[in-house]
A and B are shown apart, each in its own frame.
Chain A
Amino acid sequence: MPRILVINPFPLDEAGVARRAAQSGHVALDPGTELVYRPVRFSSVSFMSPHDWLLMDLGVYEAGLTAEQEGFDAVVIDTMSDSGMAALRSVLSIPVIGPGKASMLYALTLGARFSVLAQWKPALPRYRKVIRDYGFDRQCASVRSFDVEPDFVNLTEGKEDRTFPIMLEVAMRCVEEDGADVICLGSTTMHQAAEYLAERLPVPLVNPGPLSYKLAETFLAAGLSHSRKAYAAPLVRRDELVHDIVAAASGAGT
């Protein structure tokens, strides 16, 4: 009966969480699997600068650091940026799955090179940075944006007719011009477009959120978790400090 905590990287209201939770409709999970969605208390507003990345790391970390004590069997982070993943892995022994690096690695089980479909141009520098950091330069055919400003709350809802065909056109350029064998959706917020794109693309499309749920089940089923050698534990945990500064930040307005 795996209970999995899914951390949403923005402080969403109930309707916002429900739009994120709809990702589980894309994949058949094991009958006993329970997903519990929890938005962070504090995060960045946009996601396009090192300032944003750092604040989101903190927000996700704070939302998940008690997951093991709370009895969860695994944590999934609902963002391709894997925000907070390394810090959470350093304090938790249960599997912590971020869909970013994992979906690129999974793409390489399916084909030789992948492209990442990014939302808008300001998102590009971070993808390029992480792909370089991960050492996947040779495996990445391209990162292309379809140049539509992201809406982290409403996602693509109500904009399907306008947005989906542009996404498809850009993904096709990844395949035809850049030689992508697999397309990775660049954000878990794009999940609503997954079926539309998968039906029309000549190559596999990795939908990162549903994949991350399945990977959490897979690691739990195989008795695997992250390596303590790669994610060393802190000598001194400062949970109280973390909770305090996040509580202060979340009450502070802009």
Chain B
Amino acid sequence: MPKVLVIVPFPMDADNLDKRRAQMKSVRLGPDIAFDFKPVAIAPANYVSAQDALLADIGILEAGAAAQADGYDAVCIDTVSDSGMNALRSMLDIPVIGPGRHAMLAALMLGEKFSVVCMWDRWRPLYTKTLAELGLEHKCASIRSADLQPNNQELLGGREDEVFPVLVEVALRCVDEDRADVIVLGSTTMHEAHAYMAERLPVPVINPGPLSYRLADAAIRLRLSHSKTTYPTPLTPRPGPIAAMGAAARSVKSQAR
């Protein structure tokens, strides 16, 4: 049975990991495929600066570097930033799915232009980076935020009444004012709002995490993985030092800092 590793981009306890795992309920998956959720050891506190982006890349690389050796058939990265994807793709032959680019490209299969709706404006660089990598800036109608600081552990729990209507309002502005044909949720942490938004918006709303799981399944069945000319294999991989960084971060001392 194919096995997929889902890398969760923050260290977290079992309860909060379950909130991430709940994304699987939003998509019908194949009958014979298993998903293991694994939190990273190395992570920034949030994703709002170049320091954070660097640490996120390192943390996700560390968490996924051994995925192929461990018998996984694909890796999903549970963040729309696609952090760590490029480096992991260079080390691994199995498909590595970044929900950010996959959600944007899937959006373009459903309409001409999409908007990204996110929680706060400080996430904007996450999307402009992927748009620049894809060279598809002209397909993005807008990036709008609800201007509400997210909680990457509790997600939206307990804040539904405060957050959900604002997200719908922001998404409607993307459709009415910016002419978006499709809405892409700007974070996998927003998955709890997806059903509420999809019911109330006149355009498709893409829930990037669940879509990425299904696309991992599709890549496995199609026997397709990323191109090694875009993601060249390193001449000298450094798996030892990468694993050592993870071990260091897992030590109590490092966690306390």
Q: Do A and B actually bind?
A: yes
Give the Cβ gap from A208 to chain B, nearest Cβ, in Å: 11
* B residues near A97, Cβ cutoff 8 Å: 109
Report yes or no: B110 in contact with A224, Cβ–Cβ below 8 A: yes
* A residues near B26, Cβ cutoff 8 Å: 222
Report yes or no: B111 in contact with A181, Cβ–Cβ below 8 A: no
Instruction: Give A106's nearest chain B residue, CB to CB.
Output: B105
| B192 within 8 Å of A (CB atoms) | no
CA distance A6 to B112 in the complex (A): 23
Binary per-residue interface labels of chain A (160-184) against chain B in the complex, 1 for a CB within 8 Å, 0 otherwise: 0000000000000001000111100
Among A27, A28, A109, A198, which residue has its beta carbon within 8 angstroms of that of B101? Answer: A109
| B234 within 8 Å of A (CB atoms) | no
Among B27, B30, B108, which residue has its beta carbon within 8 angstroms of that of A30? Answer: B30
CA distance A27 to B180 in the complex (A): 33
Report yes or no: B225 in contact with A202, Cβ–Cβ below 8 A: no
CA distance A105 to B181 in the complex (A): 17
Beyond A181-B227, A221-B29, A227-B111, is A28–B138 a contact (Cβ under 8 Å)?
Answer: no
* B residues near A228, Cβ cutoff 8 Å: 202-203
Report yes or no: A230 in contact with B111, Cβ–Cβ below 8 A: yes
Among B28, B31, B135, B181, which residue has its beta carbon within 8 angstroms of that of A138? Answer: B135
Among A181, A204, A218, which residue has its beta carbon within 8 angstroms of that of B215? Answer: A218
Beyond A110-B226, A181-B227, A224-B110, is A229–B102 a contact (Cβ under 8 Å)?
Answer: no
| B236 within 8 Å of A (CB atoms) | no
**Interface extent on A, as a size class?**
35 or more
Give the Cβ gap from B182 to chain A, nearest Cβ, in Å: 5
Report yes or no: B29 in contact with A111, Cβ–Cβ below 8 A: no
| B74 within 8 Å of A (CB atoms) | no
Within 8 A of B (CB), among A196-211: 198, 202-204, 206-207, 210-211
Give the Cβ gap from B111 to chain A, nearest Cβ, in Å: 4
Report yes or no: B222 in contact with A109, Cβ–Cβ below 8 A: no
Among A139, A180, A210, which residue has its beta carbon within 8 angstroms of that of B222? Answer: A210
CA distance A25 to B139 in the complex (A): 34
| B54 within 8 Å of A (CB atoms) | no
Report yes or no: A230 in contact with B112, Cβ–Cβ below 8 A: yes
Give the Cβ gap from A144 to chain B, nearest Cβ, in Å: 17
Report yes or no: A227 in contact with B204, Cβ–Cβ below 8 A: yes
| B134 within 8 Å of A (CB atoms) | yes
Beyond A108-B105, A202-B229, A221-B28, is A139–B112 a contact (Cβ under 8 Å)?
Answer: no
Instruction: Give A32's nearest chain B residue, CB to CB.
Output: B31
| A214 within 8 Å of B (CB atoms) | yes
| A226 within 8 Å of B (CB atoms) | yes
| A215 within 8 Å of B (CB atoms) | yes
* B residues near A105, Cβ cutoff 8 Å: 105-106, 108-109
| B207 within 8 Å of A (CB atoms) | yes
Binary per-residue interface labels of chain B (24-42) against chain A in the complex, 1 for a CB within 8 Å, 0 otherwise: 0011111100000000000
Q: List 24 A-B contacts (CB under 8 A).
A: A97-B109, A101-B108, A101-B109, A105-B108, A105-B109, A108-B134, A110-B225, A110-B227, A110-B230, A112-B133, A135-B136, A181-B227, A203-B229, A204-B226, A214-B218, A217-B218, A221-B214, A222-B207, A226-B110, A226-B204, A228-B202, A229-B175, A229-B203, A230-B113
